[in-house]
Chain A
Amino acid sequence: MRSFALASVFLSLVSTAVCADESNLTKPLSSKFLLPSAFKPPQVFKNTNLVHVVNLEKSYPKESINVVIENTASSPQDEYYLPFTTRQMETIGALEVKDRKAPESGLFEVEAAEIDPESDTQYYRIRLPKPLAPKAQQTLGITYHFLSALDPLPATIQQKENQYLVYTFSAYCPSAYVTLKQKTEVKFPTTNIREHTVIPGTGKEPQSPQIQGTKYTYGSFGEVPAGAYEPVRVRYEFTKPLIHVSRLERDIEVSHWGGNLAFEERYTMTNRAANLSAGFSRTQFAQDAYYNPQSPAIKELKFPLRVGSLTPYFTDVIGNVSTSRFRSNKREANLELKPRYPVYGGWNYPFRVGWDADLKKFLRKLTTGDGYVLNAPFLEGPKQPEGVEYELVELRVILPEGATNLKYSTTVPVVSESITMHKTFMDTIGRTTLTLTSINVVDDLRDREIIVTYDYPFMAGLRKPLVIFSGVLSLFVAAWAIGSLDVAIKARSS
């Protein structure tokens, strides 16, 4: 018993330590390798053609760079560097690189590199799967997004006003190499663009941007040296919420006995939209709901769950939230949640949702041995037209007690992983738990999956019934033994 107590104390210490680490989120958690502080990427590449697309249709900027690179060195090269500012490095998420010509060949290995914490320029190092021969060319497709990069201006608005967002970026795509030809396209959600930077044309280049509906194009520009920066600031209408989840804890619990897969998600949600300049007026809200449904308030969250999900719940810290609907049939299982109050800019609404699913749809037994394969979605948050951003996602996969030999794979970038024991209902040794942490995730990654394989011997499944049986048995024996003791002071008359 004492060893249990000690172990639990130790575990709680560990968990608090982990929590303390995680609460400090100003720095990205991504793995880094240090480079000398005077590091400059070797000028071994040039960008012959580059198209930079900035997509502002959602509540976070989504950028992609399609670039044709050419090896200018005399030896084959495989390290391509991509520069970002320190601020961007903290909020960048899901940087993925693939060969545009052969997208099916998979993602390239990408690693964040830190040279000097004081420096404003940091690098991502992209390792090409095959070193690029001298003079050879390759087309890279680089995609990423930034979190918390759009800011409302003015920062406070009235309840029925439109909201405008500001985004600043460079007209010249940031690059560590010389770029021969490039252009930057900006996609806006509406045509209501209040401000944009105009870059005057030079002799052979026209004035930027060229406007086609909601698409603004800067460039094309001619040869630009490495590290060139031309700030562009746009301010555009976006009367939708900026849903920001600062922390999502997602648990997936496997129960072999119950044939059940239980999901639970705990959201710490904020709306980053413009704050209300005056108090919230219910009258105004009721009228706006009728005349002008667009608003920067979060009124509803839609969770399209896997078909066959059942028994959902939606609670917050003071109990069940009665304003939710669950539509489930053969083709869909939609969970529609309404927060208790419309979440306006600057307001918070932490909540918790959970549901069950049939284990058979997610788990398969391997034909040989005691192995099982679990295939579940990594992320299943709300699917909103304006998008959702997650600062930190902590996924826990709780396997049954006694599961061993745990392995996992996922395409979502993971910054930390650990395997611990989770002790809960009547466990003796605790359930094997895989904890994965991922930062700067957006709802585009909804469809990514996590695949976990583990061994679960037959006897491990019988552990709990046997423990309970022996516990009750020992209780009876103890009761019988105590009951048959004679504790009377005077001698029993027989």
Chain B
Amino acid sequence: MKCKRCRRAEAAVDLPSHHAAFCPDCFFVFFRRQVREGIRRYRLLAPGDRVLVCVSGGKDSLVLWDVLMEAGYKTEGLYIDLGIEGYSARSREKVAAFAAARGKTPIVVELAKEGIPIPEAARCIRMQECSICGTVKRYFFNKVAAEGGFSVVATGHNLDDEGARLLGNLLHWQRDHLARQHPFLPEAGTGLVRKVKPLWRITEMETAAYGFLKGIDYVTEECPMSLDATSLVYKEALSLIEDKMPGTRIVFYQGFLDASNPLRQATVEPMADDGEETGFGKGSAGGVPGACSSCGASTFAQVCSFCRLKERVREQRERRREKT
């Protein structure tokens, strides 16, 4: 199969959803255009932004960092070491090697040092690992961004992630979640930093292909905590449909984002974030939230969700210690 763009070289990536196939060089052009279009459509980033890219060592986040650097954005990487035996060390190595090759040093937060490594925390308070992980990550995204003077946080969520999330939200009619699902979550006056998802138009297969062709060494193993994640069921369902009807996924998500979508108009609100948020740095201008009595972060409760979580883990840990 020949490349549909240059019509000379042999194609390396075929994309039925775009009725296209590209050689490596033309695929890079296509990929960067898709990211640029994703950023332009919702003004995710401005040229002067300082971007904190959240990297896990997986393909999406490393590819995102690579593409943003190439596009000339001022970026730094944030790696959160979740404290998962073996997996965290291996993914951290990938991030360090990727950054070093580009003259960067990632900012690292170690949850073990913060007193809340994910596996132990989940065991202590009998909560889903992914749920704890989400709360903890959001906390540190805001904290590191505020302390480091970053104007925006970028994550590597792709079209498959967002499509699966949308399907899950629709199946359960999660109106509040639907209202907050968007590639652009604006900065809130409470010190919540703007969050963007520049890869929202790009599939997992495309980021994997880009990473492979660019020689980006990413961690291919799955997070052992996420093997039973419900999002995988929704992804599976969507990929089944996508195989039969290429292009369905982008139509599904893009149609949801369309401002004329009645569902969107019915649910749209100023979007804070994916869950209860904790913000840093700017106080509570324009909102009810005050400062967390424990850590000082802006929160809608007296104590922020992160500090509450941490306290529950600490209590359970002590109880266990007393028993033994």
- Bound pair: A and B? no
Q: Tell me the B residues contacting A by CB distance below 8 Å.
A: none
Chain A positions near chain B (C-beta within 8 angstroms) = none
